[in-house]
Structure 1
Amino acid sequence: MRRQDARVAVITGASAGVGRATARLLARRGIAIALLARGRAGLDAAAEEVRAAGSRALPIEVDMAEYDQVVAAGQRVAAELGPVDLWINNAFSSVFAPFQQTRPEEFRRATEVTYLGYVHGTRVALAHMTPRDRGTIVQVGSALAYRGIPLQAAYCGAKHAVVGFTESLRCELLHDKSKVKVTMVHLPALNTPQFDWLLSRLPRRAQPVPPIYEPEVAARAIVAAADRPGRREYWVGAPTALTILANRIVPGLLDRYLARTAYDSQQTDRPAPPDRPANLWHPVDGPGGEDQGAHGSFTPRSHSHSAQAWLSRHRLVATGGLTGAAVGVLAWRRH
């Protein structure tokens, strides 16, 4: 697959977590980066990291659920940084709660940010890329885009919707013989600040379902997808691959397994603090409004590498190695 090189990139949800880690990686390449998010403290800190790496940064406060704000952000990026080559949709919000304890307005808001935010970002990206007939759009997804789990109905529903929307769009781009590429990157459980600031009605503190990976694992996969968007999607981490494949083979068995285990596995043993923040309606950079960075509070339990993700990014190397090993074994057996 032909490598795509970008000079100007847009990252939504860039103030923390995966977006923040991805901005750091791209900045090391000298790519100018527009950072879109709601939290001012996180945006300013992310911009400083990009500049420290020697790249240009343009932090823009944007609510991705508001289409007009996204349009204005795209216009500003083009005017101040130049034509958009790469757009990474990553922003989201959600609610940790059983569906029947999630209020209709909360479900709608989570859907507008997590699903319509991707639709808005993609529409604006295409408006800038289609006239030039070049560019790449990366949709950051999740294993939960293919397998819904308890306590995250709003998030799972939105991620499922992103997959269906992206598949439709890909077909249309192929029909038009467009050179604009779109790909998806599906992620495992990650150590990001979301578990400290998403709206939660769980009795205990929310946590990612182990095994947990650092956001840099996701960032490396996103950058690889941006480089080579010819693949429809990338699966990051063995848990993601196993979850998606198992759901295709034994979905009913997974229903029962998750009904029995997923409530406890998404909560720690610690009671949830009564004054916990929630960023569903307003940005929350941290407990005191400070920059939260890329990492959450599960670093001691998190993996900084994934063998599966490396093999997924380096298919030719892996295939060549396996082929060489097979040839070696056959040669040995003949002698």
Structure 2
Amino acid sequence: MTHPQHQTVVVTGSTGGIGRATARAFGERGASVALLARGRAGLEAAQRDVEHAGGKALAIPTDTADHEQVEAAAARVEEELGPIDVWVNVAFTSVFSPFWEISPEEFTRVTEVSYLGFVYGTMSALRRMKPRDHGTIVQVGSALAYRGIPLQTAYCGAKHAIQGFNEALRCELLHERSNVHVTMVQMPGVNTPQFRWVLSRLPNKAQPVPPIYQPEIPANAVLYAADHPERREYWVGGSTVGTLIANKFAAGLLDRYLARTGFSSQQTDEKCDPDQPANLWEPADSDRDFGAHGVFDSRSTSRSYQLWASQHHGLLGAIGAGVAGVAAAGLVAGRARR
């Protein structure tokens, strides 16, 4: 694996939230980071973040729903920064709304950005990585890749699609014994700017489903996944683990639970601002930088014990085996004394 300081990394959706925090984290390791997003102000600020952190940044205005723009961006990255080692797909958009209030055009746009954008990014990355037999693609997913929730039909559909696409692609690469890896990181509710710039038809302001994590937690997970891509996926946050387990064993009960709680848990007590920007068709951060964090800092946590456990499951397994061994030895000794 290329030493982190010498990596060339592409991050889509790099002007806000998880993408912004991930780009900055790679910059802290001295990587060359290509920033793909639409908003001019956001891109300029993200570039400053990466460079201030110690990395080299290349900002490329890109709509990931346009495969020609994505391919042109990938070619420019390799020309100006060198061969791409890691490609991180993050870019998305959504609509907070009951399904029957979403137009076909809006649903199509969400799907093109939030699903096909990942497909196009993966295509461009593989076009360069496979001939070299080297590289890693990290898909930023969500607990909603397995468990749909109300008011996010378009986003949940896209995340489910990414999950199936990524599994199929991983099988193909394993079949070829390729040294190119794909892995997916399933995220919890995160304090990102999306809740103030995604198109919303909700009566109140949108919020992540608690517990809410700061974006640096997912960014840490993305870097770890990029360094350890042999695992098929990573789960971030205890809420993600709980949701996926509950969905596996009690999906019908979870349907009814979310029908009762899923509307209120995704909204604050404040009325929605009728002038709130919407980034569905145009970037919300063309003239204003929103940064990595949303407006929920006071309610967000910067720790995830589950993530640490996930990254150290080998150590925990060894400790568990050791404890079991000591217990077994004690039991044998106790019996011998009888």
Q: With structure 2 as the length reference, what TM-score do the two structures score?
A: 0.95
1:128 to 2:136 alignment = no
Partner of residue 308 from structure 1, selected from 293, 296, 306: 306
**Structure-2 residue corresponding to 1:323:** 321
What per-residue deviation string (whole Å, max 9, x for no partner) do you get for residues 96-121 of structure 1? 00000111100000000000000000
Matching residue of 2:152: 152
Q: Is the 8 A contact 1:4 1:227 kept in 2?
A: no
Q: CA 1:323/1:162 → structure 2, altered by over 3 Å: closer, same or farther?
A: same
Q: What amino acid is the match of 1:261?
A: T
Q: CA offsets, 1:11-58, max 9 Å, x none?
A: 000011001111111111111000101111111111111111221100
Aligned-residue offset at 1:128 = 1.0
What SS does the aligned partner of 1:50 have?
Answer: helix
How far did residue 327 of structure 1 move?
A: 3.5
Deviations 1:197-250 (A, max 9, x none): 000000000000101100011001110000000000001011111111111111
Question: Equivalent residues in 2 for 1:17-28 (5 A)?
Answer: 17-28=17-28
Is 1:249 matched with 2:249? yes
Please name the residue that 1:222 is paired with. 222
d(CA) in 1 for partners of 2:159 and 2:3? 26
1-structure distance, mates of 2:221, 2:3: 15
Query: What TM-score, normalized to structure 1?
Result: 0.96
Is residue 51 of structure 2 the alignment partner of residue 72 of structure 1? Answer: no
- Residue 290 of structure 2 is matched in structure 1 by 292
Q: Which amino acid aligns with 2:162?
A: V
How far apart are the structure 2 equivalents of 1:293 and 1:213? 16
Structure 2 counterpart of 1:9, which letter?
A: V
Alpha-carbon distance in structure 2 between the residues aligned to 1:250 and 1:318: 28
Structure 2 equivalent of residue 10 of structure 1 = 10
Gap runs ≥5 in structure 1 = none
Equivalent residue letter for 2:215: P
Q: 1:114-153 CA deviation, whole Å, 9 max, x = no partner? A: 0000000000000110110110000000000000000000
Give the structure with higher Rg (CA): 2
- Is the 2:185–2:234 Cα contact (8 Å) retained in structure 1? yes
CA distance in 1, matches of 2:34, 2:170: 24
Mapping for residues 67-216 of structure 1, pairs under 5 Å: 67-216=67-216
What is the distance in 2 between the residues matched to 1:229 and 1:129? Answer: 14
Assess if the C-alpha contact under 8 Å between 1:64 and 1:121 holds in 2: yes
CA separation in 2, counterparts of 1:175 and 1:158?
26
Structural RMSD (CA):
1.5
Confirm whether residue 273 of structure 1 aligns to residue 311 of structure 2. Answer: no
Matches within 5 A, 1:230-241: 230-241=230-241
Provide closer, same or farther for how the CA distance between residues 271 and 217 of structure 1 changes in structure 2, counting only shifts above 3 A. Answer: same
Secondary structure at the counterpart of residue 25 of structure 2: helix
User: Which residue identity lines up with residue 295 of structure 2 in the other structure?
Assistant: S
- CA distance in 2 between counterparts of 1:34 and 1:137 reads 14
2: CA distance between counterparts of 1:222 and 1:282?
A: 27
- Give the length in aligned residue pairs: 332
- 8 Å contact from structure 1 (residues 3, 227) kept in 2: no
